[in-house]
Structure 1
Amino acid sequence: MNQITSACVLSEAEHHLLSLAANETDTAIIITDHLGRTLYLNDGFTRMLGYTLADMQGKVPSAVVSGLHTNATALASVREHVTSRESFRTEILIYDRRGKPLWIAAVINVVKNDEGECTRMVGVWTDITNTKMHEVLQHKALHAIAREAPIVDVMQLICLEVERIAPEVTVSIRRIDPSNRLWTVGAPSLPAHYVRAMDGITLDCGIEGSEVPGLEGQLVVFGERSATSFWGERTELAQACGLAMCWWRPIRSGDGQTLGTLAFYYRERHHPDNLHRRLADVSVNLCSLAMEREASKKKIRRLAYFDSLTGLPNRSSLVAQTDTLLVDAARMERPLAVLFLDLDRFKQVNDSFGHPAGDMLLCEVAKRLKKCLGEKDIAGRLSGDEFVVVLTSCNADDAVARCETIMATIREPVILGSMSVTPTASVGIALFPQHGDSIGTLLPHADMAMYRAKAAGRHRYSIFDPDLNRAAQENLKLERALREALQSDQLQLHYQPQVRLEDGGIHGVEALARWSHPEFGMVPPQRFVALAEEGGMIAELDRWVLRTACRQLSEWRRLAIAIPHVSVNISPTTFSDQALPGLIAQTLADHGLRASDLMLEVTEGVLLNTATDGFANLNSVHDQGIGLSIDDFGTGYSSLSYLHRMPVNELKLDKSFVHELESNESARTLAKAVMSIGASLGLSTIAEGVETDAQRQILTRHGCKVAQGYLFARPMSATTLVAWLNHWKPAAGSSFHVGSS
């Protein structure tokens, strides 16, 4: 009897423990009969879903907890398994007694009797809403972002997913513009007239609300706002839309910049619960990712199609837009004009005032061009100081008038730092359809016309002429021939003596490149040197001149011919090469020459542009003992403030001054000033282009010591120079006559 009593007590204890285990867990447990009708549920089921055993007794659970967004296919699968009396697992969206959605993971096991028949079914349901919320919401939003869906579609999706998970919430997402104003990008469930009323508000207004302890963001109760507040003014509108409260949070970028706002609206007074907070956390992060990605895409598109400095369309964008305009012009049979603009002397602005000032000038020119555009016209920047304007419905007369207006607008003074600069532009005009039917034809034709305008004196315009195209083709052939001439050593050096005026002695010789071509004949130096610069061959040409001149001077020394030194012109491009000082030193060593045997002639731009390697090379070659001469002194932006600090040995007075010495008092005054500057700084002055004895006498009176020009001798070959030297023995103070050619 005692043993039976003990067994009964033990059984009751076990029953109590099992009851505790079933009821005190957060997991929902439900037992049904073989037909799936509810027989038992634990307290965890009631806590999770709100249903009691009285509510569920005799009912099929799936029929009670399914709702609007329950997946129909998943629900049908559950019922099929129950009908088949099979154990199964599933994840499915259900609804609690209040209509709140939640995701569950359900495990249903079949209980069978000794005959193998199903007598009961035991279900264990676990709430996986948090996991599923992150999984579904993030998966859908990230998938949309990854396939580069429009930003509005991504935001609408986030709003709808949040509202599906929490039906009591209505969501809006707004972005902030550069003016601090908010604009809706997602609010699918808010009334359209309310959305329109809220668009354009400033963030300062939008941040009104109450700080709730433990709740990030701002909480607004519409009926409690004062009539004078931002929300107070909109209370009636919100209440008319059935909105009682709003909880909003800022959307921030990774670096803390405010990108927009996320707002949850409630139709009843309902403080955000844990689910809402988690939804907001996930949504804010997704919105931030989508907005930052959209900003990056816009930046990439802008970099791809717009000039980063001026904001104008770049070449690729300009070409694409012009192609569209040309199609329209052809269909409507309307003319169109392409203007190619190049700023005059822009390099000198950079050299004199620095590149930041040059950038300021380019931006100002871009602004002025925009002001001159019609509704369908476009302007773009190609590169450097080159701009293009495309004028629609514009014939030749209209193009000239518009061009003059643009040039006048550009010419208005610009303040760069403390200096006032008056920019000008040279413009080439090509017309559709006369000069081409595509941008690929019109643009180079306008470019050719621009170069003709610049060659005519700058601040001019020129309309394309077919003859220009023929000239361009000839230039292309000439450039190709020059490249071959450099590779096969077809050029020659001629030498022009530099004569001391006091005694007629030889000061030195200047090496000058000459090119005689079988087809083109004697090509003027100014032409093939310009071709070398444009075609990227100038450094090769300079190195050839340097090597050839040094080799020839070495040969003269071997023959005991008294040539004090040879002068060689070096372009600014070549002078900026870091390897130049080493190349010069090696060339002198290869030919057994001293540093003093060589004089390098450079332009003033090399002296003024302190930001390049050319400036450093000045000091480097000077330290070797090589002489430096400023060529064409007085024709550019001469800077006396730099001159006295530069390692320069001589100044070359440009021939433009010398030619007018006899007839122009101003030329004589300027020439005298240059020679005085040279003398005061201990520099020699060489006058170029001396052709008459009267010019020589004026130069001598003003203190000029050395001259070169046709009065003494033309540039000549090395052999002819030796013969000329044998006959050149003038007495001091005697008249000079034109030497041999």
Structure 2
Amino acid sequence: MLSPETLVSPASERIHTILDKLHSGLLVQDRHCAVEFVNQAFCDLFRLSRSPESLRGLSAQQMLPLLCGAYADPQAAAARLVAIVHADQPVHGEEVAMQGGAVMVRDFIPIHVAGEAMGHIWVHRDITQHRQAEVQMRLAARLFDRTGESVVITDADHVIQVVNAAFERDTGYTSREVVGQRTRLLASGQHGVAFYEDMHRALDSRGWWQGEIWNRHRDGQMRLAFLSINAVPDEQGAVQHYIGVYSDPGRYEASQRRIEYLATHDDLTGLPNRFLFNDRVRQAIGRASERGEQLAVMFIDLDEFKLINDTLGHAVGDELLQLIAQRLRDCLRGCDTVARLGGDEFAVLIEHSSLAEAEAMARRVVELLGAPMAMSDRVLYVGASLGVGMFPANGRDSATLLQVADVAMYAAKAKGKRTYHFYTSELQLKMDQQLQLEMGLRWAIERDELRLLYQPQVHLVTGEVVGVEPLVRWQRPGGAWLMPAAFIPVAERNGLIDGIGLWVAREACRQVVAWQAAGYQVPRMSINVSAAQFRHPGLAGLMARLLAEHGLDPSRFVIELTESALMADPESAHQQLRQIRQAGLRVSIDDFGTGHSSLSCLRRYPLDELKVDRSFIADLEHSTRDLEVLRSILTLSRALELDIVVEGVETRGQLALLRELDCQVAQGFLFSRPVSAEAAVRWLPRVPAGLERSDAA
């Protein structure tokens, strides 16, 4: 038996050969997550084009992108892999969904020698066929029990083994009465010997028989049924069972038509489904290729459907989907196709379409779906984002055209929703880069790639530093620095913002303690909180615990929020702000003037400070209008008893004008660019002699 130590240490060629023959995929990594061994089965399971030998020595950063592409949800898979390694606890039999509907089960085995972590082993097994068999068995059992047709199963001698509920309903016999009896129990006497001989010859020669037959009900009445019998052979080909299905002849024909319809159409809207849509796109591509024409495939995703479904219920959501389907039908030509792909996703095929014609149709669809939706008892506003892929420029098959249209649709959402976007190769490159950014961001905290820089807030009369704002940056592998605008929106979309926000707050607290210990004073520390973080009800409690852990005074910390964070849900925002204030922290509105807050909103919220956005300062020396706007903001703040901090001060001319307006505090490159904690001590004030350092912040 191979011990963990044997696997982690250099193994013999014989052992490697044995491990390569295993059907299970095996990956061994050292304590730093570098690959020490991988077998061929692992490469096959993850569809890696590289050989096992070429993977050895790869770091986790190099290996993760190779593996995650095989998972059904690469982002969630990356997060889970990181969590497993970080926990360093055994994981056994964890099922994971892979691309193409495959299912694998994985084990994670940490290796410890004398209490020291030496690495870990991943074992993966493909259980797709096993799961599919289980699903088929469950479906068959459910179908047998729930089908509306009478079903009887006999042995090779026509002795009844089992019947379903529909059989009991249609014949009047209970299961207890017929199991163990021969099927002649149901014989009506209406058919001669030749009828049954023909039936048995068909079963013997081809394994099935279909036809109309008279049966005797338990009450003695004769009833006509359509009977379908199929022979079930064993592994040697000998008949083991017969399955008979009885149905009403008229109902059988209607059911067949219904089944055929549901195989190709969406039951709720009556639109073609994905299967039929793909078939029509394939046919349209064939015609377009022969004629040298273009065609367009559009991918449509409703913008606010989930909110409506969650708040108003599925009945309203279903009615809305039906109304949208009708609008789409009404705006298309007879030769075009609209389909519902599932959920709130639709697709449109526009044949004989130039780029300009496709754009005109995309614009029309967006306008139609953005118009008010008159429901039975209410009017709803939804809107849609739409992506367009063109044949032959963007793809030459149905799957590719749908894929590129989907990519373009996400680009439309990124532009602000309720619009359309055409696919381009540059867009695909951008999406790939975005995915790499998202995957890298999941590792940023673990790999200590986030950095805080600090910028002072200066009193314009005394010149003293009265506050500090920490600004997060991401230093990617290779040395490139990313600004928050490049990765914070990504973090918000993918649920990573909480971890980053917590890291920023904790690091800021740690740095304040370090400065205090070195004899420096931090009069006030402002911490930015995103709209996504602000929506979490535990924000005030989290900040209070952090400050208590570091022994810091909450009154010297300011929570900075944007106007949009407040406007999304005013009532919840008011309650959240009240809790923050009760925790002893101050509240500031960052980038004031760029959102949509009104005077009544400012009066209603418990605020302490406004930070005037840099856009009002940039042209201050040359714009009378900007000067008057700033004067009005200062007057408003004094009336509401709010402090003011002006951002983006870069010139002495701007500074002079701010002093004329009696502005008290400003921040910007004129005073200092954002700098490291070590460099910040050049402008941080020293703790006054005789003042305890523990009281400095």
Q: TM-score normalized by structure 1?
A: 0.52
Larger RCO, structure (CA 8 Å, separation 6 or more): 2
Deviation readout 1:361-400 (Å, 9 max, x if unpaired) = 999876654432223321558777x765432332323212
Question: 1:545-556 maps to which residues of 2 (within 5 A)?
Answer: 545-556=504-515
* Aligned residue number for residue 609 of structure 1: 568
2: CA distance between counterparts of 1:451 and 1:637?
Answer: 26
Q: 2:333 aligns with which of 349, 374, 395?
A: 374
Letter in 1 for 2:615: S
Letter in 1 for 2:551: G
Contact 2:338 2:346 in 1 (8 A): no
Is residue 466 of structure 1 aligned with residue 425 of structure 2? yes
Q: Secondary structure of 1:492's partner?
A: strand
Contact 1:338 1:446 in 2 (8 A): yes
Q: 2:282 aligns with which of 327, 333, 356?
A: 327
* Aligned residue number for residue 336 of structure 1: 295
* Structure-2 change in CA distance of 1:555 and 1:312 (3 Å): farther
- CA drift of 1:667 comes to 3.6
Question: 1:76-87 maps to which residues of 2 (within 5 A)?
Answer: none
* Aligned residue number for residue 363 of structure 2: 404
Contact 2:465 2:683 in 1 (8 A): no
1: CA distance between counterparts of 2:273 and 2:560?
Answer: 42
- CA drift of 1:528 comes to 1.7
Letter in 2 for 1:529: I
Is residue 634 of structure 1 aligned with residue 589 of structure 2? no
1: CA distance between counterparts of 2:626 and 2:541?
Answer: 40
* Aligned residue number for residue 488 of structure 1: 447
2: CA distance between counterparts of 1:149 and 1:564?
Answer: 84
2: CA distance between counterparts of 1:663 and 1:457?
Answer: 32
Q: Secondary structure of 2:578's partner?
A: helix
* Aligned residue number for residue 400 of structure 2: 441
Contact 1:651 1:686 in 2 (8 A): yes
Q: 1:688 aligns with which of 628, 647, 655?
A: 647
Q: 1:530 aligns with which of 489, 497, 505?
A: 489
Is residue 507 of structure 1 aligned with residue 466 of structure 2? yes
Contact 1:382 1:388 in 2 (8 A): no
- CA drift of 1:545 comes to 0.7
* Structure-2 change in CA distance of 1:457 and 1:305 (3 Å): closer
Q: Secondary structure of 2:605's partner?
A: coil
Deviation readout 1:537-579 (Å, 9 max, x if unpaired) = 1111111111111111122222332212211222222223344
Rg bigger for which structure?
Answer: 1
1: CA distance between counterparts of 2:360 and 2:337?
Answer: 15
2: CA distance between counterparts of 1:391 and 1:449?
Answer: 16
Contact 1:339 1:390 in 2 (8 A): yes
* Structure-2 change in CA distance of 1:413 and 1:305 (3 Å): closer
* Structure-2 change in CA distance of 1:644 and 1:421 (3 Å): farther
Is residue 622 of structure 1 aligned with residue 581 of structure 2? yes
Contact 2:385 2:413 in 1 (8 A): yes
1: CA distance between counterparts of 2:346 and 2:469?
Answer: 40
* Structure-2 change in CA distance of 1:536 and 1:378 (3 Å): same
1: CA distance between counterparts of 2:613 and 2:554?
Answer: 26
Deviation readout 1:616-640 (Å, 9 max, x if unpaired) = 4333222111222222233233244
- CA drift of 1:725 comes to 3.2
- CA drift of 1:603 comes to 2.5
* Structure-2 change in CA distance of 1:613 and 1:480 (3 Å): same
Identity of aligned residues (%): 32
Letter in 1 for 2:601: Y
5+ residue gaps, structure 2, are: 1-186, 194-213, 230-242, 687-697
* Structure-2 change in CA distance of 1:693 and 1:715 (3 Å): same
* Aligned residue number for residue 705 of structure 1: 664
2: CA distance between counterparts of 1:651 and 1:484?
Answer: 35
Contact 1:377 1:391 in 2 (8 A): yes
* Aligned residue number for residue 660 of structure 1: 619
- CA drift of 1:498 comes to 1.7
* Aligned residue number for residue 675 of structure 2: 716
* Structure-2 change in CA distance of 1:139 and 1:690 (3 Å): farther
Deviation readout 1:190-243 (Å, 9 max, x if unpaired) = xxxxxxxxxxxxxxxxxxxxxxxxxxxxxxxxxxxxxxxxxxxxxxxxxxxxxx
- CA drift of 1:663 comes to 3.8
Letter in 2 for 1:507: V
* Structure-2 change in CA distance of 1:139 and 1:428 (3 Å): closer
1: CA distance between counterparts of 2:505 and 2:682?
Answer: 23
* Structure-2 change in CA distance of 1:538 and 1:390 (3 Å): farther
- CA drift of 1:404 comes to 3.5
1: CA distance between counterparts of 2:337 and 2:622?
Answer: 51
Is residue 589 of structure 1 aligned with residue 589 of structure 2? no
2: CA distance between counterparts of 1:487 and 1:717?
Answer: 20
2: CA distance between counterparts of 1:140 and 1:422?
Answer: 51
* Aligned residue number for residue 477 of structure 2: 518
2: CA distance between counterparts of 1:525 and 1:468?
Answer: 22
* Aligned residue number for residue 96 of structure 1: none
Q: 2:528 aligns with which of 569, 590, 603?
A: 569
Q: Secondary structure of 1:596's partner?
A: helix
Q: 1:497 aligns with which of 452, 456, 479?
A: 456
1: CA distance between counterparts of 2:625 and 2:540?
Answer: 39
2: CA distance between counterparts of 1:499 and 1:442?
Answer: 56
1: CA distance between counterparts of 2:596 and 2:341?
Answer: 27
Q: Cα RMSD (Å) of the superposition?
A: 5.1
Q: Does 569-578 or 620-629 show the bigger shift?
A: 569-578
2: CA distance between counterparts of 1:665 and 1:362?
Answer: 52
2: CA distance between counterparts of 1:614 and 1:498?
Answer: 27
Question: 1:8-407 maps to which residues of 2 (within 5 A)?
Answer: 71=190, 131-132=219-220, 154=248, 156=250, 305=266, 319-332=274-287, 333=289, 335-340=294-299, 368-375=327-334, 376-378=336-338, 380=340, 388-407=347-366
- CA drift of 1:593 comes to 1.0
Q: 1:542 aligns with which of 477, 484, 501?
A: 501
Contact 1:498 1:509 in 2 (8 A): yes
- CA drift of 1:720 comes to 0.9
Q: Does 328-337 or 665-674 show the bigger shift?
A: 665-674
Letter in 2 for 1:377: T
Contact 2:644 2:665 in 1 (8 A): yes
Contact 1:691 1:709 in 2 (8 A): yes
Q: TM-score normalized by structure 2?
A: 0.55
- CA drift of 1:497 comes to 1.4
Letter in 1 for 2:490: L
2: CA distance between counterparts of 1:421 and 1:157?
Answer: 40
- CA drift of 1:671 comes to 3.4
Contact 1:369 1:379 in 2 (8 A): no
Q: Secondary structure of 2:555's partner?
A: helix
* Structure-2 change in CA distance of 1:392 and 1:102 (3 Å): closer
Q: Secondary structure of 1:495's partner?
A: strand
Deviation readout 1:282-314 (Å, 9 max, x if unpaired) = xxxxxxxx9xxx9xx99x999x957x8xx596x
* Aligned residue number for residue 234 of structure 1: none
Deviation readout 1:47-69 (Å, 9 max, x if unpaired) = xxxxxxxxxxxxxxxxxxxxx97
- CA drift of 1:718 comes to 0.9
Q: Does 554-563 or 388-397 show the bigger shift?
A: 388-397
- CA drift of 1:474 comes to 2.2
- CA drift of 1:433 comes to 2.8
Deviation readout 1:107-141 (Å, 9 max, x if unpaired) = xxxxxxxxxxxxxxxxxxxxxx99456xx879999
Q: Does 455-464 or 395-404 show the bigger shift?
A: 455-464
